Amino acid sequence: MTSVNAIAPAASPHRPDGESYRLSLPNTARSAGIARDFVTSLLTSSPHSGIVDDARLCVTEVVANAHRHTRTSLIGVHVTVEAEHVTFAVSDDRPWAAPAPGSRPAGTLGSAERVGGWGLLLLEELASAWGADVCGCCAPRHKTVWFTLAGEAGLTA
> Pairing mode, if any, of strands 129-135 and 142-150?
antiparallel
**For every one of its 157 residues, what pLDDT tens digit does the chain have, with 9 covering 90 and above?**
444 444 333 333 444 468 999 999 999 999 999 999 999 999 998 999 999 999 999 999 999 999 988 888 999 999 999 999 999 999 998 766 555 555 554 444 444 444 456 778 888 999 999 988 887 666 557 789 999 999 765 444 3
Domain count, the chain: 1
Domain that holds residue 22: 3-103+117-156
Q: For residue 112, is it within any domain?
A: no
Q: For residue 15, is it within any domain?
A: yes
Q: For residue 55, is it within any domain?
A: yes
Q: For residue 146, is it within any domain?
A: yes
Sheet holding 85-92, edge to edge: 3-7, 19-26, 74-81, 85-92, 142-150, 129-135
pTM exceeding the 0.95 threshold for the entire prediction? no
Q: For residue 108, is it within any domain?
A: no
